[in-house]
Structure 1
Amino acid sequence: MTRSAEHAKGSTTPEGTGDEVEVRIRGLMMDPVTNMPMIVLKDLTGDGVLPIWVGIFEANAIALEIEKSATPRPMTHDLLRNVLRAFDATVTRVVINDLKDDTFFAVIWLDRDGDVMTMDSRPSDALALAMRADCPIYVSRTVMDNARMNQKGRDVNSDELRRWLEGLGDDDMGRYKM
Structure 2
Amino acid sequence: MVSSIILLYSDSYHLLGVILIVHGRGISRGRGTGELLVSPAAISFLSGVDPDTGIIVEKGHPLEGESITGKVLAFPHGKGSTVGSYVLYALKRNKKAPAGIINTRADPIIAVGAIMGKIPMVDQPEKDIMQLRNGTCITVDGDTGTIEYDQDGIS
Shorter chain as denominator, the TM-score bin is under 0.3
TM-score (norm 2): 0.27
Tell me: higher relative CO, structure 1 or 2? Use CA pairs within 8 A at least 6 residues apart: 2
TM-score (norm 1): 0.25
Q: Which has the higher helix share?
A: 1
